[in-house]
Structure 1
């Protein structure tokens, strides 16, 4: 996190802040934001500036609070005085959105946290935090492909197979790879975050229909119960904004701004 804020704005209408997952690089979100831009002024936060010239520069271990503080500063800079914004955070960005709601709710209208991997809300959360630590160790021992395979098995709550042979990226290549940055700087501190009850600002915790029966679907349900938020299914799986961007955007828009109910015959 740097003192300089990195974000992009497109569209028109009420403000919608998007906090990406992974290492915060907004790659792949363009089709979803395009589908939202005729209904919202979409503000896409890039917490580490990876899409704004900082990919390849040194990155320390990340803190959830640093991302949410940065998101609050983006809102303060991008919004006119007195206005508030909707928020979508997905995956690690969903955890930042939960912390933003807990610590800086003043300029928020409604927060949607999509599959935040805060597994500590689960009764067996310690086991799953250990799984994420194993993902990190697998990357350090056998590289990206092996770590991705271990995490895929863990999220599906399946027995891991023998990881493919490999090795971690050299330091300079690691800094230029968003997935490696996620595994080494974001994964452990973010999945250790445990949200608490929130205030009166509306909160929706979402999970993908394709994630039913998987770890992050259970996590989303438990997070909604713990925070007293609503639980809603969205199209796709954990990568729903990339897999089904138009449908995901439509579901998000209906969640944030429900159609008014009219009586029959009116």
Structure 2
């Protein structure tokens, strides 16, 4: 695996760590969750045969530092960070953009705010739950996550959050309370996911450690700031020829997939199916990367 070129970029209130591979038209990869730039290591080199592939750690994650560590996070500011990277690396022509999960929310906002800078956006399972008919339930979930994080800590909040993302049951009004047992299970799952997402040598242990270290920021700042965001669907409909919405083949019924499917139906566009579930990028990197390449060629 070829080593990327590494740089730092000053943006409003933060310094971004970014990485660049390859040559050709710019393809910007915006990570979601806690993975940062490293979450794309398994696909970036393959894509770099055709594109200049750029990715970065979102502000507050891993190597991208905040001037004010207590600053609240907004989708608009994260989208503006992505724009600054585009302007740095592709000042003269529109770029292709892929976003995963919370990164897909930022990518959607980037498209609506600066469509002239975008050739095409592929958004994989953006959890834009405020567009759903039962948005009030998800607003309540965000409130429970915030309050649980404040009063009981990280893993209890992760238990509440994970329960809220699961497939719908017949009774959607009952939410499991965090217990010592499900907190321990969630912690083990989080550690396993961190290790799975960081399984590429030689930096596997460092990536797993970084992923776990990012969890408090993700749960405390990104989850409430991003899942409370409602995209401009009318604007997206007008720009739908620049947008591909995608879900995982194994994600049916889960909350991010439900939200993405709702947006696709509202915009009248087809859903592209990627291998795996919400973290298919981690579990099926080769197939995921090949389908992503095809999505930008279409």
Q: TM-score range by the shorter chain?
A: 0.7 to 0.9
**Aligned-residue offset at 1:180:** 0.8
**Aligned-residue offset at 1:59:** 4.1
**Aligned-residue offset at 1:57:** 7.0
User: Over residues 212-263 of structure 1, what are the superposed CA-to-partner deviations in whole Å (9 max), with x where a residue is unaligned?
Assistant: 12122111111223345442111111111112111111111111113xxxxx
Residue 19 of structure 2 is aligned to residue 8 of structure 1 = yes
How far apart in 2 are the matches of 1:56 and 1:245?
34
| 2:224 corresponding residue in structure 1 | 188
Residue 245 of structure 2 is aligned to residue 205 of structure 1 = yes
Aligned length: 248
Secondary structure class of the residue paired with 2:20: strand
| 1:64 corresponding residue in structure 2 | 75
Q: Give the direction of change, closer, same or farther, for the CA distance of 1:3–1:147 in structure 2 (3 Å limit).
A: closer
Match of 1:42 among 42, 53, 57: 53
Deviation >3 Å, runs of 4+ = 3-6, 157-162, 226-230
| 1:18 corresponding residue in structure 2 | 29
Secondary structure class of the residue paired with 1:149: helix
Q: Give the direction of change, closer, same or farther, for the CA distance of 1:26–1:56 in structure 2 (3 Å limit).
A: farther
Secondary structure class of the residue paired with 2:71: coil
**Aligned-residue offset at 1:37:** 2.0
The equivalences for 1:38-187 within 5 A come to 38-48=49-59, 50-52=61-63, 54=65, 58-81=69-92, 83-156=93-166, 157=168, 160-165=175-180, 177-187=213-223
TM-score (ref. length: structure 2): 0.76
Q: Are 1:13 and 1:41, in contact at CA under 8 Å, matched by a contact in 2?
A: yes
Secondary structure class of the residue paired with 1:211: coil
| 2:255 corresponding residue in structure 1 | 215
Q: Are 2:127 and 2:257, in contact at CA under 8 Å, matched by a contact in 1?
A: no
How far apart in 2 are the matches of 1:45 and 1:228?
32
Match of 2:286 among 246, 250, 257: 246
- Between 95-104 and 126-135, report the one with greater CA deviation: 126-135
How far apart in 2 are the matches of 1:49 and 1:138?
21
| Residue ranges of structure 2 left out of the alignment (5+ in a row) | 1-11, 184-211
| Residue ranges of structure 1 left out of the alignment (5+ in a row) | 167-175, 259-266
Q: Are 1:235 and 1:244, in contact at CA under 8 Å, matched by a contact in 2?
A: yes
User: Over residues 176-211 of structure 1, what are the superposed CA-to-partner deviations in whole Å (9 max), with x where a residue is unaligned?
Assistant: 931110111111121111112323451111111111
How far apart in 1 are the matches of 2:21 and 2:60?
17
Q: Give the direction of change, closer, same or farther, for the CA distance of 1:46–1:231 in structure 2 (3 Å limit).
A: same
Aligned-CA RMSD value: 2.4
How far apart in 1 are the matches of 2:100 and 2:297?
19
How far apart in 1 are the matches of 2:79 and 2:267?
17
Q: Give the direction of change, closer, same or farther, for the CA distance of 1:148–1:186 in structure 2 (3 Å limit).
A: same
Q: Give the direction of change, closer, same or farther, for the CA distance of 1:14–1:132 in structure 2 (3 Å limit).
A: same
